[in-house]
Structure 1
Amino acid sequence: MQFRLLSCLLFTAVLAGCFAEAESTAKATPAAQPVDVAAVLYAQYSPEYTFTTRLESPQQVELRPRVSGVIESVEFREGSHVKQGDLLFRIDPRPFAAEVARLEAELNRAQAALHQANSEAQRAKRLQGRNAISAEQAESRLSLASQRRAELASVQAALQAARLNLEFTEVRAPIDGQVSNAFITEGNNVQAGQSVLTSLVATDRLYAYFDVDERTWNASFSNVTDNGETQATLALAGSNGEQHTGALDFIDNQINEQTGTLRVRAVFTAKDAQLRPGAFARISLKAADSRPTVMVPDRAVGTDLKNRFVLVVNAENVLEYRQVELGRREGTLRVVEAGLEPGERIAANGPARVGPGMPVTPQNVEIETQNLTLAKPQSAAEPSA
């Protein structure tokens, strides 16, 4: 009886030990968590560079009067677009018209005086041929005719200048463009060549000058020319992503030794009122050549105290910590310069709910290519380019 009781107790202890070991094993091996897993994207990628600038007009004019006088009228709507030759200001023309009239009368007098002097000179030549007049008198009349011709030429030149001044009382637009407000209004006196009446800027095209550092230019744009075939995109500050397309049309002939940069210009057609001279803008240029590049979703990248990392899913479906070197961001994707190889799988949503060493149940998803061209991974037997 005692032996039977002892056997029951021993069996109970062994059974309890088995249950404890099983429970300990269950606690030591956590359940695999379902995780979105994706193969890294390997695609042809052209790095895009962004530069800041301010737009400039190819032509801008500070409109100044060519004659002094009083502004009689302002003939334009402020802020409007005008054509070359449109009347903008009118200066009181009466003093200039009076001067033209005076010089026209003076011209008539000079013409009459020259006509008389020419008649007397011809008569002197005939009389001198019959020895009816002295050589001195004949020479005097010929000299007087020459003086009258010079006086007539002087009056003609003065009249031409007076007519120009009368014409300049109408201040017209020298170029097509958009005019500012009238800085000087009716009734105010203006000085020739000094008073600024308004400003005028050409808006059919706009320039964007920016500087590219020497290293970036040599690495990504060395084959670029200014023939207008290299596309540039422009985004204005606060434009909510709206872009305008232009092209490079100027590359400077030397690198600035002080800054180590090259001055470049992109030209944009101002088809709407959003593009204005002086506006702050960001210019984006894509590198001339593309290269195969590993890319991952930006959300898949985690950050610890010093490094950027992703969680790689190994062959046993366990997460591994992998430090990476990141490049530029392209939409929702991030370029990986080092740390990942084509074909490797990662936790697509990053380390938000998982960590290194955890077993996972992969739920395969695909990374959006964002119109990138996929590249073929190079095998070990293929020579490198």
Structure 2
Amino acid sequence: MGRILFISLVVIALAAVAYRYMVVPQGEQQAAAPGGPPPAPPVSVAKPVVETLREWSDFTGQFEAQESVEIRARVSGYLESVNFSDGQLVEKGDLLFVIEPRPFEIALASAKAQLVQAEAELDLAKVQLERTAELRKKDFASAQVFDERAAEVKNATAARDSARAAIDQAELNLNYTRVLAPVSGRVGRHEVSVGNLVVGGTGETTLLTTIVSLDPIWLTFNVSEGDILTYQRSIQKGEVESVRGGGVEVEGQLVDEKDWPLKGTIDFLDNQFSRTSGTIRVRASFPNADLFITPGQFGRVRVPMSQDKPTLLVPDTAVVTDQSTKVLFTVAEDGTVVPKPVELGSVTDGGLRVVRSGITADDEVIVNGLLRARPGQKVTPQPTEIAPPAKQASADAPASKQ
């Protein structure tokens, strides 16, 4: 019995040894060796790419017409004609609507007749005043009569001036029956059909249509306080010009475009930040000669934040976020992981992130294997290279802002 038990134990031991060497990998056998430290995990490291770039920040905004006009009736009457097609392009001074002019023509004729009457009364008053003056010299007329004749001349003069003003008003009202385009642009749909009564004057007037100008066109966008501060620091360093001076060149694109074909300038920076959003309103002007852009469309604009200068770039995937701090994991000469807080800039089209400060061009940055890296622990660095960004026409580094 004892012999059988001994043989069974030997067989079990041999089977266990064979299983370990057949199933468990050699590396884990070494790791499991009693008293031996675990091997340092491998990570891919690379030095930052150094490129001469101009850093940009880009923002999303909405296009607006530089001139947007509501065309309203200025006199009351029945609409006689609509002289445009809905949505067509019009030039300043084009005839849009005609309000029935006949009542205003009659009013003008009446005002002219009133002027003739007033001028006749004035002439008579002047003659009577002259006669009274001659009689007064000979004491044939009293001072009271003379004063009355002088007052009649003044009254007649005022009546004549009033009649002239009435003619001006009547002519103005008659002109208002022909509604002209005050600006060039695209007209909207007509809001009132022929035959309807429209109301003019100074109260609740009738909206007839709208016109928006198209060339040039504005792109309005909001900029955060942080971006404004960054820009102001660049102004202090002499790297960029002040926006308030006007003429700062920017580039724009529509939502379906990858490049930046629109070239414009910033022409307005608001005078205060919004208390609710913490942003400030900025406006850029772009030419729109082909009238391709329509007010209300969304677009993007990018603003230069620096001049062309040597810039450090790392893969955006290498950036680690620690609460509000951005960190890059670097590897020291002894293989220790050293986290370095960095100030980041924009992201290039190739996915590389601009690093403004925090690392040098000689730092070995972990670009792959971040999950295996722990600050202060050893790693096995495996050198690699970061592919430089594709060369662009403007050698830029755009950011993405909302």
Q: TM-score scaled by structure 2?
A: 0.68
Corresponding residue number in structure 1 for 2:215: 204
Q: Of 147, 150, 175, which residue of structure 2 is paired with 1:142?
A: 150
- Tell me the alpha carbon deviations over residues 277-305 of structure 1, each in whole angstroms, 9 at most, x when there is no partner: 2221222123124554333567x8699xx
Q: 1:332 aligns with which of 339, 350, 356?
A: 350
Instruction: Give the secondary-structure state (helix, strand or coil) at the position aligned to 1:96.
Output: helix
Partner of 2:361: 342
Q: Deviations over 1:301-346 (max 9, x none)?
A: 699xxx999999x9xxxxx999898864211141264998636899
Show the counterpart of 2:268: 250
Unaligned 5+ segments in structure 1 are 1-19, 29-36, 315-319, 374-385
Q: Report the Cα distance in structure 2 between the residues aligned to 1:149 and 1:98, rounded to whole angstroms.
A: 24
Quote the residue 1:287 is aligned against: 305
Shift of the 117–244 alpha-carbon distance from structure 1 to 2, 3 Å rule, reads same
Change in 2 beyond 3 A, CA 1:123/1:46: same
Secondary structure at 1:171's aligned position in 2? strand
- Structure 2 residue 132 is the aligned partner of structure 1 residue 124: yes
Q: Deviations over 1:31-71 (max 9, x none)?
A: xxxxxx99752123343222222122222111111110111
**Which has the larger displacement, 48-57 or 328-337?**
328-337
Answering whether residue 253 of structure 2 is matched by residue 235 of structure 1, we say yes
Whichever residue aligns with residue 212 of structure 2, its letter is: V
Conserved? CA contact 1:309–1:321, under 8 Å? no
1:278 aligned counterpart, secondary structure: coil
What is aligned with 1:266? 284
Identity between Structure 1 and Structure 2 (%):
29
SS in 2 for 1:47: strand
Say if 1:365 and 1:213 are closer, same or farther in 2 by CA, change over 3 A: closer
Q: 2:91 is matched with which residue: 83, 86, 91?
A: 83
Cα deviation code 1:162-206 (max 9, x no counterpart): 111111111112223222121112111111141111111222222
Superposition pairs of residues 147-226 of structure 1, within 5 angstroms: 147-193=155-201, 194-222=205-233, 223=235, 224-226=241-243
Q: What root-mean-square deviation, in Å, do the aligned CA atoms of Structure 1 and Structure 2 show? A: 4.3
Alignment CA distance shift 1:366-1:100 (3 Å): closer
Alpha-carbon distance in structure 1 between the residues aligned to 2:354 and 2:144: 105
**Counterpart amino acid of residue 186 in structure 1:** V
Cα distance between partner residues in 2 of 1:242 and 1:293: 21
Pairing partner for 1:93 from 101, 109, 133: 101
Deviation, structure 1 residue 125: 1.8
- Flag the 1:55–1:137 CA change in 2: closer, same or farther, 3 A: same
Gap change, CA 1:213 and 1:102, over 3 Å in 2: same
**SS of the residue 1:166 aligns to:** helix
- 1:68 maps to 2:76: yes
What do residues 75-131 of structure 1 show as CA deviations (whole Å, max 9, x unaligned)?
223323323222211111000000111121121122122222222221222223233
Q: Secondary structure at the match of 2:207?
A: coil
CA distance in 2 between counterparts of 1:180 and 1:331 reads: 39
The answer (yes or no) to whether the contact 1:295–1:333 under 8 Å persists in 2 is no
Q: Supply the AA of the counterpart residue of 2:301.
A: I
Q: Is the 8 A contact 2:56 2:306 kept in 1?
A: no
Corresponding position of 2:3: none
| Corresponding position of 1:45 | 53
Whether the aligned pair in 1 keeps the contact of 2:348 and 2:389 (CA below 8 Å) is no
TM-score by length of 1: 0.70
Q: Are the structure 2 counterparts of residues 334 and 94 from structure 1 closer, same or farther at C-alpha, using a change threshold of 3 Å?
A: same
Cα 1:336–1:148, aligned 2, differ >3 Å: closer, same or farther? closer
Equivalent pairs, count: 336
